[in-house]
Chains A and B, each alone.
Chain A
């Protein structure tokens, strides 16, 4: 319990200094040694509070993002904003979205960002190690066409 709390605590507290961490850890330890589970009241099945708006399908989502990055005169700010927002979502972008973003980098003459995007989607896959190789496999034609090297080819995936 203590270890999980520490991992969660430190992951989301990058800018908390060490001293506060020590003190807070001690409080957590004391608190959780005496904690008990509280059962939350459950809503009855018939009246769940879901929103009634239309849910976007995966295809619509993908198409929207591909269109966003395909803008011919996309500028650097839009690329940054798009990528940062996309990485903020709880998903790994489809190869076609990444392809569109890489082409946007090409239009902006920005190789560094292209490599950064590949690193970012690898990081998004988290523990699922098979997503990134699939992504690279799907993107191989584009990478060769545009001359983008993957971080692995440049030796930047190691410390």
Chain B
């Protein structure tokens, strides 16, 4: 949900930091995990939500309070004795997200496409600025009059008279064929 709060424009660097922080579920996981510093302790078994790794190295909630412990005791007996809520609670103790929650679509593509267009736009602005302040003036050969005189000269010189340029000019009627 974090990326929905931040705007799409201009907050990419903050988002990058946010994504890096929230990427590993372990950091945000259970209360009671004593972190030495802000860094994740990679020497301990980690939790992660991955579609291709259904059972991570440790449960989501390590530190169980009294109700959790009693539920765990009940788990040792027949599972048909557990109610639906208890089964869901047991699942949530061990895992953070269900598979559908892992696979939920994010709105990130909008940010990516939007960011692309922003950069294209900035490039466009740079190009426009360039055309005013960087490019030298256009050579005279681009002008309408010059072009017309150039064509006339080419026709006079009979450029490619058989199959090319002058072949397309009708010299009798003084027009293009």
A-side residues, CB < 8 A to B, are 6, 10, 14-15, 17-19, 21-22, 25-26, 29, 79-80, 83-84, 87-88, 106, 109-113, 115-117, 119-120, 122-123, 146-149, 151, 153-159
- Determine whether the beta carbon of B52 is less than 8 Å from that of A115: no
A147-B79 contact, Cβ under 8 Å, with A18-B111, A154-B84: yes
Pick 6 A–B contacts, CB within 8 A, sort by A. Answer: A17-B16, A17-B19, A18-B108, A22-B111, A26-B119, A111-B82
* C-alpha spacing A146/B77, complex, angstroms: 10
Q: A116-B91, A156-B98 are in contact. Are A18 and B112 (CB under 8 A)?
A: yes
Q: Is B81 an interface residue (CB 8 A)?
A: yes
Q: How many A-B residue pairs have CB under 8 A?
A: 118
Which residues from chain A contact B23 at a C-beta distance below 8 Å? 14-15
B76 at the A/B interface (Cβ < 8 Å)? yes
Asked if B46 is an interface residue, CB under 8 A from chain A, the answer is no
Looking at the assembled complex, report how far the CB atom of A16 sits from the nearest CB atom of chain B, in whole angstroms.
Answer: 9
* Contact of B57 (CB < 8 Å), options: A10, A80, A112, A123: A80
What is the interface of chain B, defined by CB distance below 8 A to chain A? 3, 12-13, 15-16, 19-20, 23, 51-57, 59, 75-76, 78-82, 84, 87-88, 90-91, 93-95, 98-101, 103-104, 108-109, 111-112, 115-116, 119-120
On whether the beta carbons of A87 and B54 are closer than 8 Å, the reply is: yes
Max count, chain A CB within 10 A of own CB: residue among B78, B79, B82: B79
Q: Are B55 and A79 in contact (CB under 8 A)?
A: yes
